[in-house]
């Protein structure tokens, strides 16, 4: 399933116009087999309208306070997700840093998939189902159409079904107290 991104903006005299209409590229990584990232939109600072750029996708993966990133992630069924470390861990880590800057620094290498970020993440299950795991093995099952709000907590995702799970996330940069 590809994703089409349509963005709007302001033209002459402040009139509403379409800025762009593109198919979104997919990012895959050797270190995370089967997972697909689709970068939909980002702003590293608090957005102001009119927005100058239709899709500011550069910068760190997780936004700084006030910043926003919209991403879609496809989680493969757990059996298809690998579990075997890449042959060249250094090269695989460099690939993650190149394609998703800063992501790897949040991942717990001794607890694969566990991570904690200074963001509020609104996640919508678009297709399939997934389990959200928190500390001490606490879990919730989420199905298509359901929403989770992650408030900077330590977590990881498990797709125990036989089909891919597609989730769309809005990541809002926050300040940790």
pLDDT in tens, 141-160: 999 999 999 999 999 999 99
Other Cβ atoms within 10 Å of 174 Cβ, number: 19
- Distance of alpha carbon 69 from alpha carbon 41, whole angstroms: 6
Other Cβ atoms within 10 Å of 122 Cβ, number: 15
Lowest mean pLDDT segment, chosen from 47-51, 62-66, 161-165:
47-51
Convert the pLDDT of each residue in 97-156 to its tens digit.
Answer: 999 999 999 999 899 889 999 999 999 999 999 999 999 999 999 999 999 999 999 999
Question: What are the E-state strand segments in 51-164?
Answer: 68-75, 119-127, 129-133, 139-143, 147-151, 156-158
- Residue 130: strand pairing partners: 142
Identify the residue whose tokens are 């980002």: 42
C-alpha dist (Å) from residue 30 to 80, 104, 111: 13, 13, 18
Q: Which of 77, 81, 87, 71 is nearest to 169 (CA)?
A: 71
Provide the pLDDT for residue 102: 92
- Distance of alpha carbon 93 from alpha carbon 102, whole angstroms: 11
Instruction: Indicate yes or no: pTM above 0.95.
Output: no
Tokens standing for 64? 């700084």
For range 11-27, the mean pLDDT:
92
Other Cβ atoms within 10 Å of 60 Cβ, number: 16
Q: Which of 152, 58, 167, 36 is nearest to 102 (CA)?
A: 58
Phi, psi of 77 (to 5 degrees): -55, 145
C-alpha dist (Å) from residue 126 to 12, 22, 24, 40, 168: 36, 20, 17, 15, 7
User: Residue 81: pLDDT band by 50, 70, 90 thresholds?
Assistant: low
CATH 3.30.565.10 corresponds to the domain 18-173: no
Burial class (CB in 10 A: 0-12, 13-18, 19+), 156: middle
Ranked by mean pLDDT, which of 15-19, 41-45, 165-169 comes out on top?
165-169
């Amino acid at each position: 399933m590809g994703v089409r991104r349509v963005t709007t903006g302001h033209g002459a005299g402040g009139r509403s116009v379409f800025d762009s209409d593109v198919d979104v590229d997919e990012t895959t990584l050797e270190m995370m087999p089967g997972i697909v990232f689709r970068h939909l939109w980002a702003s590293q600072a608090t957005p102001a309208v009119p927005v100058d750029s239709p899709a500011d996708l550069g910068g760190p993966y997780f936004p700084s306070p006030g910043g926003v990133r919209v991403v879609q992630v496809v989680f493969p069924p757990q059996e298809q997700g690998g579990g075997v470390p890449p042959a060249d861990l250094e090269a695989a880590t460099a690939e993650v840093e190149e394609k998703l800057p800063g992501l790897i620094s949040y991942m717990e290498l001794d607890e694969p998939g566990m991570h904690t970020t200074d963001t509020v993440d609104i996640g919508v299950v678009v297709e399939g189902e997934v389990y959200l795991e928190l500390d001490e093995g606490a879990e919730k099952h989420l199905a298509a159409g359901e929403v989770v709000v992650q408030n900077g907590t330590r977590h990881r995702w498990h797709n125990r079904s036989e089909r891919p799970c597609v989730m769309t996330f809005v990541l809002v940069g926050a300040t940790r107290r």
